[in-house]
């Protein structure tokens, strides 16, 4: 009997196929199901929408913001705001530059978080343009601020780079934050988008590494992890105090999402911000929703982020927003299709975008923001068309299809909370014959340090898992597979109940056993999806973890042996994790051409 976990109940309905065949299909809603065969759940075309659960119309106070940092500058906005406001958005996130800034403008320079001090008067032209822009529709606008300081990268001016958290001159960055806040206030903007993501090419003593990564800290030899975390929190408080002094009622949307798993010391910086926020509103930006599809997935993202901070009262006032990527990785779908007959070939058709935006608006407190690969097409009509062939082989595009624009309005109406698109039935990943050895190579006579490495033995509980292994992730479905096997009687088959998600199987071992030692972990992997499955080793120092990854299965439906080697840090604490990992992508079930 196959086993899996899915937090819903089930029932069957009968639908009529185009061929005339009457076929049982599944409708899912409610609490839990256990033990339903994979074939029934994941067969192509299974509709899991529940028409009996329509959600309410979106509240009027909720807004959609366009992420337009590298395509709309204040001078363009002032001249063309009337044309731009034909988009049914409620505001924009844009970049501002000082009057003496050079021609290279990516929207990710991080100028406010570098060591060069700024004053309000350095931005006279930008502020003049913003104050003279006649906004009508765009009521909720923001200025972009990045914590990764790349400066004017063409000059490589290190004075514009990040400063060490312990640098006595760090107050320059806090004052620069106040300048950005005052510009937002004087322009009549809501506030700032604070982007804490790391980008290549940053300047300063981190030598291009992430400033929130303790392992790369230039002061690591002088300061422990706990001391550094405390200092980052102090800097967050210092920065926020300066910002709210300049703009007491400012709104700051922090991206990526502040659930913080895998984001290093970001949580400590934001904790400092929360401690000194005053009347400011701080919002988890939720860019983890970029590729999400359904209401359940987006609600799960919020629940996961908020539960991370449930025990810390400082995080209680934190609000939640979500970023939705309209056109992810177009070239994976033959480019972004603007022909209505080919809308379904896109990652999101207009109808799918409409449903996802509705779900995001329903879960968010106030804001949803959209990110696009085609910013010039969406936000910068004067320079259309602008080819982006490295991202979209169908570029240039003359405009945004009217049906996509309509999605931004229609998403505010009542929609089915249980809607989801049909996904491909072929999204399985198989793992067999794992091995852990000491050292950096796996020899013929190497001792396997794992118990139950072939996952042949399973527990006797209601939801059995391989003994000594634990299955987890986003909507994991797992089975003791008896057909696709490398050796022995069985393998482990993994997928997700969601439209997409990360599923995994872990072994946890005491860190003290391996601290300071080099180990190699490997497994046989089988899949028809390229670069989605592999193996990982994770170790932890206090609450911070590092990951070494191996694999990248070619997706040729054959068994491949993949490995990863890592030297466990000498100060590793708790447990290390050996992980069999599968990032199950959103792959649509075959469908007829769109009639939208």
Summarised one tens digit per residue, pLDDT across range 212-264 is 999 899 999 999 999 999 999 999 999 999 999 999 999 999 998 776 666 78
Task: Look over the chain and give the mean of its residue pLDDT values, rounded to a whole number.
Answer: 87
Q: Read off the tokens for 168.
A: 């006595």
Residue 469 lies in a domain: yes
Residue 83 lies in a domain: no
Instruction: Among 215, 237, 256, identify where a domain stops.
Output: 256
User: What is the arithmetic mean of pLDDT over 438-448?
Assistant: 92
Residue 249 lies in a domain: yes
Residue 311 lies in a domain: no
CA–CA distances in Å: residue 384 to residues 87, 230, 474: 15, 48, 40
Domain that holds residue 201: 95-256
Q: What residues contact residue 375 under an 8 Å CB cut-off, 6+ apart?
A: 67, 68, 70, 71, 72
Number of separate domains in the chain: 2
User: Can you tell me the distance from the alpha carbon of 106 to that of 130, in angstroms, rounded to the nearest whole number?
Assistant: 19
First to last CA, the chain: 42
User: What is the arithmetic mean of pLDDT over 185-201?
Assistant: 95
Of all residues in the chain, what percent are helix, strand and coil, respectively (each to 5)?
Answer: 25, 25, 50
User: What is the arithmetic mean of pLDDT over 387-416?
Assistant: 92
Rounded (10°) angle between helices 74-84 and 124-131: 20
Contact 370, 65 (CB under 8 A): yes
Is the per-residue pLDDT at 16 higher than 70? no
Per-residue pLDDT, 151: 82
User: What is the arithmetic mean of pLDDT over 151-159?
Assistant: 63
Residue closest to 369 by CA, chosen among 262, 285, 489: 285
Give the lowest-confidence range in 27-31, 78-82, 278-282, 535-539: 27-31
User: Can you tell me the distance from the alpha carbon of 164 to that of 211, in angstroms, rounded to the nearest whole number?
Assistant: 8
Per-residue pLDDT, 345: 94
Contact 178, 119 (CB under 8 A): no
Burial (Cβ within 10 Å: 0-12, 13-18, ≥19) of residue 571 = middle
Per-residue pLDDT, 3: 35
DSSP 19-64: TS-EEEEEEEESS-EE---HHHHHSTT-----TT-BPPPPPTT-EE
CATH number at residue 510: 2.60.120.260
Is the per-residue pLDDT at 44 higher than 90? no
Give the lowest-confidence range in 1-5, 198-202, 387-391: 1-5
User: Can you tell me the distance from the alpha carbon of 383 to that of 227, in angstroms, rounded to the nearest whole number?
Assistant: 50
Is the per-residue pLDDT at 390 higher than 90? no
Instruction: Among 209, 234, 256, identify where a domain stops.
Output: 256
Q: Dihedrals φ, ψ of 251, to 5°?
A: -110, 130
Residue 520 lies in a domain: yes
Residue entry with tokens 């984001």: 263
Residue 210 lies in a domain: yes
Q: How many other CB atoms are found less than 10 A from the CB of residue 312?
A: 11
CA 84 to chain centroid? 27
Q: What is the pTM of this model?
A: 0.87
Per-residue pLDDT, 157: 66
Summarised one tens digit per residue, pLDDT across range 270-327 is 999 999 999 999 999 999 999 999 999 999 999 988 998 888 999 999 999 999 999 9
Residue 477 lies in a domain: yes
Per-residue pLDDT, 33: 30
Per-residue pLDDT, 153: 53
Instruction: Among 256, 286, 304, identify where a domain stops.
Output: 256
Is the per-residue pLDDT at 35 higher than 60? no
Q: Read off the tokens for 302.
A: 């919020």
CA–CA distances in Å: residue 499 to residues 113, 217, 285, 474: 38, 38, 22, 10
Q: What percent of the chain has pLDDT over 70?
A: 88
Between 596 and 20, the more confident residue is 596
Residue 472 lies in a domain: yes
DSSP β-ladder status, 63-67 and 367-371: parallel
β-bridge mates for residue 563, sequence order: 522
């Amino acid at each position: 009997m196959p086993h899996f976990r899915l937090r819903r109940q089930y029932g069957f309905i009968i639908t009529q196929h185009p061929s005339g065949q009457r076929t049982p299909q599944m409708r899912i809603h409610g609490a839990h199901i256990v033990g339903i065969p994979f074939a029934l759940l994941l067969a192509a075309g299974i509709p899991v929408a529940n028409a009996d659960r329509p959600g309410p119309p979106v509240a009027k106070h909720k807004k959609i913001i366009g992420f337009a940092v590298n395509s709309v500058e204040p001078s363009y906005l002032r001249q063309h705001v009337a044309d731009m406001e034909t988009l049914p958005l409620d505001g924009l996130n844009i970049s501002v530059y000082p009057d003496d800034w050079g021609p290279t403008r990516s929207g990710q320079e991080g100028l406010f978080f570098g060591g060069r001090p700024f004053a309000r008067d350095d931005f006279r032209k930008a502020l003049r343009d913003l104050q003279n822009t006649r906004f009508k529709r765009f009521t909720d606008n923001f200025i972009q601020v990045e914590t990764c300081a790349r400066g004017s990268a063409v000059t490589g001016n290190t004075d514009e780079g990040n400063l060490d958290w312990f640098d006595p001159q760090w107050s320059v960055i806090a004052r620069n934050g106040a300048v950005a806040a005052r510009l937002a206030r004087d322009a009549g903007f809501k506030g700032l988008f604070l982007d804490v993501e790391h980008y290549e090419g940053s300047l300063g003593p981190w030598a291009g590494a992430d400033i929130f990564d303790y392992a790369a800290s230039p002061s690591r030899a002088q300061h422990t992890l706990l001391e550094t975390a405390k200092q980052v929190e102090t800097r967050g408080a210092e920065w926020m105090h300066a910002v709210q002094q300049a703009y007491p009622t400012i709104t700051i949307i922090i991206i990526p999402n502040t659930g913080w798993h895998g984001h290093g010391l970001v949580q400590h910086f934001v904790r400092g911000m929360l401690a000194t926020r005053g009347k400011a509103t701080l919002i988890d930006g939720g860019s983890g929703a970029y590729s999400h599809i359904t209401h359940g997935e987006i609600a799960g993202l919020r629940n996961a982020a908020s539960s991370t901070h449930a025990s810390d009262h400082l995080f209680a006032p934190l609000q939640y927003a979500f970023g939705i990527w309209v056109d992810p990785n177009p070239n994976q779908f033959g480019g972004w299709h603007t022909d209505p007959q080919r809308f379904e070939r896109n990652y999101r058709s207009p109808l799918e975008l409409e449903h996802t935006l509705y779900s995001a608006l329903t879960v968010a407190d106030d804001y949803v923001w959209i990110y696009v690969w085609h910013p010039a097409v969406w936000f910068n009509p004067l320079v259309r068309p602008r080819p982006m062939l490295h991202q979209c082989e169908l570029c240039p595009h003359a405009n945004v299809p009217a049906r996509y624009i309509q999605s931004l309005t229609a998403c505010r109406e009542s929609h089915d909370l249980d809607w989801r698109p049909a996904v491909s039935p072929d999204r399985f990943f198989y793992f067999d014959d794992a091995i852990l050895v000491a050292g950096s190579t796996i020899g013929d006579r190497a001792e396997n340090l794992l118990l139950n490495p072939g996952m042949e033995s399973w527990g006797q509980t209601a939801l059995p898992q391989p003994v000594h292994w634990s299955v987890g992730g986003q909507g994991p479905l797992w089975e003791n597979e008896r057909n696709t096997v490398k050796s022995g009687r069985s393998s482990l088959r993994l997928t997700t109940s969601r439209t997409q998600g990360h599923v995994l199987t872990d072994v946890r071992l005491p860190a003290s056993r391996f601290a300071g030692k080099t180990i190699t972990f490997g497994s046989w992997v089988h899949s028809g999806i390229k670069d989605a499955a592999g193996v990982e080793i994770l170790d932890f120092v206090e609450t911070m973890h590092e990951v070494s990854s191996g694999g990248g299965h070619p997706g040729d439906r054959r068994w491949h042996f993949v490995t990863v080697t890592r030297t466990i840090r000498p100060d590793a604490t708790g447990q290390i994790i050996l992980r069999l990992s599968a990032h199950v992508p959103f792959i649509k079930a075959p469908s007829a051409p769109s009639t939208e």
